[in-house]
Amino acid sequence: MHTRKNYTAYQMAWWTRFETLLFLIIILFWVALYYFFQLDWFRVPWTPLALIGTAVAFVIGFQNNAAYGRIWEARKIWGGIVNTSRTLGMFLQDMISNEHMETPIDEQELQKEIKTLTYRHIAWMTALRHAMRQPKSWETNVHHKTNQEWGLRPPEKDSDVETDLTPYISKEDMDYVISKGNKQTALLYLQSHHLKVLKDKGVIWEFAFLQLEGVLEELFTLQGKSERIKNFPYPRHFATLNHFFMWIFVLLLPLALVPQFAEIGSQIGDKSPLVGKLFVWFTIPFYLIVAWVFHTMERIGRTGENPFEGTANDVPISTIARGIEIDLRQNLGESNEEIPKQFEERINTQF
């Protein structure tokens, strides 16, 4: 049985196995040529190759930093959604009251208004996470065979937004929201209209209304930031050229590495003829290590470019949204049987 650390290492090796096999074929081809056909004259000097390798390393480092920045910003945005959602839940329960009503209304009616607003906020998070999971033309990592073979899929891929919204909003609200292109924005508009109605009735004090509108404004801000990351990809000229540069380096590397090992073998051959003759074959593991490191770092950068794509390395927005829902509904006094369970973690992965 694998520990978490060993299992992750196994997953990484398995995740890159096709490229590793390709690297093995490449280096076996060149080593065989040198060993059987004596192609010592066919080589590339180390200087230009070192310059290419240095440039590729810099570009890969830049890409990984940028990709990590996008992931970290997305995580901060959804962390802000967590905090703002809890604030909204607290405000709704404490600010909707009969305190400023000339004619108090029934407590059950107050709780109904609180529940309607809270559920509509859960619907907003549901619509937002569905919008973030919508595929874009530049999101291609999710289609890679090694990203599909474990069967890891975000919950949004197995349901549609209308089905997931149904438990939280009325038929009238649903008709309005479904008719809009940006459903999460439509839900925040409904929240604002509802709060104004309650303010006009006196259920919400005017100062409390302004505070609640400020919370909605913050939710609009966080939504816009999340949509910006989703709708604006990592610049393709950086991503594409970096991928090509990496492959140029990997394909040229044997032309310098194999002759170097062959030369070392010829020097060893004076004392150990058999070892010297076979020493060129030691190129294989060293080439595999170098090529695997460059390729894997470049692929990690590509995988992190789109933090809402739906791969195992994305920000777990479904889990975050469901966690907020559980908090809000528990604070409404609902039982654990009424509240949906957290999305299941599979193979050390949350979505």
Q: pLDDT digit string (tens) for 289-298?
A: 999 999 988 8
Q: For the ranges 37-46, 80-89, 172-181, 251-260, which has the lowest average pLDDT? A: 37-46
* Amino acid 180: pLDDT: 93
C-alpha–C-alpha distance, residues 92 and 115, integer Å: 9
C-alpha–C-alpha distance, residues 210 and 225, integer Å: 23
C-alpha–C-alpha distance, residues 245 and 27, integer Å: 18
Q: Which pLDDT band holds residue 4 (cuts at 50, 70, 90)?
A: very low
Over residues 60-106, the pLDDT tens digits come to: 888 889 888 999 999 999 999 999 999 999 999 989 887 777 777 88
Hey, which of 54-58, 122-126, 259-263 has the most confident mean pLDDT?
A: 122-126
Q: Which pLDDT band holds residue 1 (cuts at 50, 70, 90)?
A: very low
Higher pLDDT: 67 or 235? It is 67
Is pLDDT at 243 greater than 90 in this prediction?
no
Mean pLDDT, rounded, for 116-135: 95
Over residues 185-201, the pLDDT tens digits come to: 999 999 999 999 999 88
Is pLDDT at 5 greater than 60 in this prediction?
no
Please provide residue 349's backbone torsions phi and psi, each rounded to the nearest 5 degrees.
-125, 130
State the pTM of this model.
0.86
Tokens of 112: 């109904």
Mean pLDDT, rounded, for 155-177: 93
Higher pLDDT: 167 or 349? It is 167
Mean pLDDT, rounded, for 333-343: 90
* Amino acid 146: pLDDT: 67
Tokens of 173: 């609200």
What percentage of the chain exceeds 90 in pLDDT? 47
What percentage of the chain exceeds 70 in pLDDT? 95
Query: Crossing angle for the helix pair 46-95 and 206-231, nearest 10 degrees?
Result: 160
Q: How far is CA 65 from CA 141, 191, 197, in A?
A: 18, 38, 47
C-alpha–C-alpha distance, residues 67 and 46, integer Å: 31
Mean pLDDT, rounded, for 43-58: 87
* Amino acid 170: pLDDT: 94
Asked if residue 57 lies in contact with residue 195, where contact means CB atoms within 8 angstroms, the answer is: no
Q: Which pLDDT band holds residue 8 (cuts at 50, 70, 90)?
A: low
* Amino acid 2: pLDDT: 35
Asked if residue 296 lies in contact with residue 15, where contact means CB atoms within 8 angstroms, the answer is: no
* Amino acid 67: pLDDT: 87
Is pLDDT at 314 greater than 80 in this prediction?
yes
